[in-house]
Structure 1
Amino acid sequence: MTDRLTIALAQINPTVGALAANAALIRQARAQAADRGADLVVCPELSICGYPPEDLVLKPFFLDRVQAVVEELAAETADGGPALLVGAPWRVGGKRHNAALLLDGGRIEAVRLKHDLPNYGPFDEKRVFEPAGLPGPISFRGVRLGVLICEDMWTPDVAETLAETGAEILIVPNGSPFEMDKADRRLSLAVARVTETGLPLIYVNQVGGQDELVFDGASFALNADHTLLAQLPAFEQHVAITAWTRTTDGWRGSSTTLTPPPERLESVYRAMVLGLRDYVEKNRFPGVLIGLSGGIDSAISAAVAVDALGADRVHCVMMPSPYTSQDSLDDAADCASLLGCRLDSIAIAPAMTAFAGMLAPHFAGRDPDITEENLQSRARGMTLMALSNKFGSMVLSTGNKSEMSVGYATLYGDMCGGYSVLKDVYKTTVYDVSRWRNAHRPGDGLGPGGRVIPERILTKAPTAELKPNQTDQDTLPPYEVLDDILSCLVEQDLGLDEIMARGHDRETVNRVWRMLDRAEYKRRQAPPGVKVTARSFGKDRRYPITSGLLSLLQQK
């Protein structure tokens, strides 16, 4: 009987579909763990193919190649080094499963299948996988390991079954995306499973950006007495070693890795940085283009881009119109200077004149209105897209969640772009995160330390500058009011009376609700962006474009 066991937590950053590259990451982690005496290396959920693979797993040729890569890795474990616990889509009896596979001694030693398939928010595993029955433990070198795959930990059934069938240590491979305050929920659920079973628990989460999702890692391990014995750093790859000893009271572990988790604003900022970095790198863009207006949204987007990619890969463009103030010109220049990135200026007045002349016969007899304002935004969008086509860099959209919620954005104008770091960040949080970045430089940031956003950008009234003396509050409620109402509607699904009980008047709530509903068609055409809240626009919140909701509101 084994009395000692060394288990490595391999917090890696796979790319969906990049099987060879993901296998290389696993090999690298195994080599590091072998040098430190590990017996077993635990990798995240679906680490072979990356998470979430979505409909890739419906393709038989893809599953064939996954199987071949797993068999290659399994053969390599014949070298006497540590075993691997990897995740992969796996066929059993002609059905597709989300599986954890133990590779040891040159072969696939054991397979365990996910029981509880998530089917909410960004998850739709029931579309592509079959749920399995309740699993039993895996025997590994004289120790019975209970494997719970991600969602299997969020309810008690799987852990209870594993404990009842003799598991000694619980191991949880994960693909759990970041959202604000989620780390505390994960830890509390893990503590609940430890309490219920009396067993220690190892939790290994993926790290990295995948489309709109960002995986924050932050893997950990708990002893049976609930003490935190390992906490891996968030938002970065890391291999940690945990040393386990059998005692009269069961297995007890120790580790030298205890990295404090980032606080709330830092975690939001680092999620944006990692999401953008991986989106650009994994899709092989040379850099990004940003329309730098002198406002807060484009300023913090530029700061994130420089921290993610480096100043030499961020190209900012100021596109003044006759309504652009000197303050905006100066603030954009100061921001680009602080960040150290390139700033060009391309005036859109010639485009405005051309469109006005082209459309004049058709607009005869009608006063200027929002149409002419939107033409300015679209001229800027076309300018950025032309630069993108010519030089290859991706346009970074700069709209925030408050604007996207109520449709305060122009289709084919400021909504142009391939990605948005602020898509799920409310305007009030934009200001908070901007102030945080001025006071802190993230450890993995490539940008400068110190202030990167000029103070006037943080203090002046936000404006689109599409007509004289315009501010956002001409059209929208104050952002403190707007964001609270939107949070009630989007994240919490509260009703009218419940929102009014928070101090908001009926007319304002109904107005915001109507704007939110009417803007659905715009959001369907928006670029992907980093998810940071419990309910981002897209897969998290699926509302019809054509809806009778407005008529219900009018009956109130």
Structure 2
Amino acid sequence: MRQGFVKVAAATPDIRVADVRYNTEKICEAIEAAADERAKIVVFPELCITGYTCEDLFTQEVLLREARAALLEIAKFTADKDILVFVGVPLSVDGELYNVVAALNRGEVLGLTTKTFLPNYGEFYEMRHFTPGPDSARRIMFEGNLVPFGPQLLFQATTMEELIVTAEVCEDVWSPIPPSIEAAMEGATVIVNCSASDETVGKDKYRRELIAGQSARLIAGYVYANAGEGESTTDLVFGGHNLIAENGGVLKESKRFRNDIIYSEIDIFRLVAERRKNTTFKMAAGRSLIRVPFYLEIEKTELTRHFPKMPFVPANEKERARRCEEILNIQAMGLKKRLSHTRARSAVVGISGGLDSTLALLVTARAFDMLGKDKKDIVAVTMPCFGTTDRTYQNACKMTVQLGATLREVPIAEAVSVHFRDIGHDPEDHSVTYENSQARERTQVIMDIANEMGGMVIGTGDMSELALGWATYNGDHMSMYGVNASVPKTLVRHLVKYAADVTTDESLKKVLYDVLDTPVSPELLPPKDGDIAQRTEDLVGPYELHDFFLYYMLRFGYAPSKIYRLAVRTFEDSYDTVTILKWLETFCRRFFSQQFKRSCLPDGPKVGTVALSPRGDLRMPSDACVAVWLKDLEHISLMD
């Protein structure tokens, strides 16, 4: 449970209809197995102590008595286990029979959640046997103790107050207003569902979408345990279709028609962070639901869930292509509007032959196509200087020609040398002044060309560079519209690749593929033997790591120590722990120290869930201190 990860399980045990003794043994075996796997929450199917398909046997006193005794036995079985168990049982209360989910922890029955919506259509006849649960919960006498009984009980961990679990029963989640809605509004972060949903053609797809959708709507974890083999097949078949979801994503799903236990880890702190940011998720003004405390030990949760190396880039090729097309359209639509609004006659792009300026030029060409404007009014300016290599220069020229834009070359070495003389800088001193003088000269050139041509300078810098402050203030940092401002570097590469893949111009395709193979570099230092001497990732770190850090820090507000843990697991085949820690510290320091550059960022379109615009997603003071974030990493080597 450390860092908010709670391991959960959805279990479908082997059962026999009405054989309470056999079922109890199998349930206890599954609890033991889940406890051995260090699961903190385990959920069983609806009425699994007796079997869901007992039909009129539910009216038999002997079955109900045995089920009650079995519930107490299962509760006792949890006495020495660090686990919260939800198990379905029929229960007679005040002369009425209820379909109930019992919550068990450390030998006690903590609460009895009643089913609210009883299906009585198609193959279901629950109202023949059961009474709908009461409108609100109360306490009843159960085996000598007052136990909460009713809907929407909240079970809250004393060792992690953010872990609040509520239960609903099968049909409840299929109803128009599931009970879990109110429970979530009062703080429930994990919903469990003890279910007996039979299999019909196509129902599994709907069930999956339903559970994923409910977890998204409630910004919650959802653990769904379904009845399986062992239930009566007189008229129905149950497939044991178990699901674990988190905020719209399915973390784990069982194979149907096989009784099994599935496990995954729900990130409670991620859910809480999402709720904090989401102003449309309204918590209830007052508390009306019963809260029941339970105890779980805080310990490290072994992670089994997958964290993508490139969270900004879809892993599925088809989805990635769709996403790339959508992003290119968003970028182009934003630029189209700005060009139209300002009545700009031209667009000016500083083109270097690198990834970012290539993407900016491709987006500008697309915007001109949308406007029906002649692409000759796109002025692509190449400004060779001390670090320019022939490879990047040639690529910049070729792609400009192939796209139908106007190529303009303005060598800046002489102007920069004059500037060095004016400020008394030694040209042999290749310090930051040497580099930034070139970047600012280039910006001056394209700004003045834009003025001369009644045009607009299109910014090329990407979001990863902005996060790290890897831009020259009032140099490449500045433009009149930054089309790449919310596109991370790892995604820039895939957008250019997508453009190369779909173009029918073979010459352009060849150039774009060569750009993709070129090392990322600002080319501000003289080349060595004609090759690029300055590689960005050698200086600030690998962009795949920085984009990973950026995503989890900004999207979910994770602490650096938690980001480190996820990165170590995700990049174990690529980087050692020392390297990951080094670049994470670098990221934190640069992210805070470079905010002043983002505070005066030019306009640009937002394309994803993470963006750095000071007018939208990131309103951060430029003089905020990084100390707390670095302190979180101080004892990282001591974490088990």
TM-score by length of 1: 0.50
Q: C-alpha distance in 2, partners of 1:282/1:452?
A: 35
Q: Identity percentage over the alignment?
A: 25
Superposition map of 1:80-119 within 5 A:
none
Matched, 1:405 2:482: no
Q: Which residue does the alignment assign to 1:466?
A: 524
Letter in 1 for 2:551: S
Superposition map of 1:29-178 within 5 A:
none
Q: C-alpha distance in 2, partners of 1:454/1:496?
A: 36
Cα displacement (A) at 1:337? 1.7
Matched, 1:454 2:512: yes
Contact 2:497 2:513 in 1 (8 A): no
Contact 1:338 1:451 in 2 (8 A): no
1:249-272: CA deviations, max 9, x gaps? xxxxxxxxxxx9982221111111
Report the more deviating stretch, 513-522 or 304-313.
304-313
Report the more deviating stretch, 381-390 or 502-511.
502-511
Q: Which residue does the alignment assign to 1:314?
A: 378
Contact 1:300 1:453 in 2 (8 A): no
Cα displacement (A) at 1:404? 0.7
Q: C-alpha distance in 2, partners of 1:416/1:296?
A: 18
- Equivalent residue in structure 2 for 1:517, among 570, 574, 592: 592
Cα displacement (A) at 1:274? 1.0
Q: C-alpha distance in 2, partners of 1:433/1:272?
A: 11
Q: Which residue does the alignment assign to 1:352?
A: 416
Structure-2 change in CA distance of 1:342 and 1:278 (3 Å): same
Matched, 1:276 2:335: yes
Superposition map of 1:402-551 within 5 A:
402-440=464-502, 451=509, 453-468=511-526, 469-504=533-568, 505-538=580-613, 539-550=616-627
- Equivalent residue in structure 2 for 1:300, among 352, 359, 364: 359
- Equivalent residue in structure 2 for 1:371, among 433, 436, 443: 433
| Equivalent pairs, count | 303
Q: C-alpha distance in 2, partners of 1:457/1:376?
A: 22
Cα displacement (A) at 1:549? 2.5
Contact 2:346 2:453 in 1 (8 A): no
Q: Which residue does the alignment assign to 1:381?
A: 443
Q: Which residue does the alignment assign to 1:99?
A: none
Cα displacement (A) at 1:367? 4.1
Letter in 2 for 1:417: S
Q: Which ranges of structure 2 fall in alignment gaps of 5 or more residues?
A: 1-180, 183-208, 219-318, 370-374, 527-532, 569-579, 635-640
Q: C-alpha distance in 1, partners of 2:404/2:364?
A: 12
Contact 1:381 1:416 in 2 (8 A): yes
Q: C-alpha distance in 2, partners of 1:366/1:309?
A: 43
Cα displacement (A) at 1:299? 0.9
Q: C-alpha distance in 1, partners of 2:426/2:217?
A: 70
Structure-2 change in CA distance of 1:373 and 1:499 (3 Å): same
Cα displacement (A) at 1:192? 7.4
Structure-2 change in CA distance of 1:550 and 1:347 (3 Å): farther
Letter in 1 for 2:509: R
Structure-2 change in CA distance of 1:280 and 1:449 (3 Å): farther
When the two chains are superposed, the root-mean-square deviation of aligned CA atoms in Å is 3.2
Matched, 1:553 2:609: no
Q: C-alpha distance in 2, partners of 1:291/1:520?
A: 24
Cα displacement (A) at 1:364? 7.3
Letter in 2 for 1:536: A
Whichever of the two has the greater Rg, that structure is 2
TM-score by length of 2: 0.44
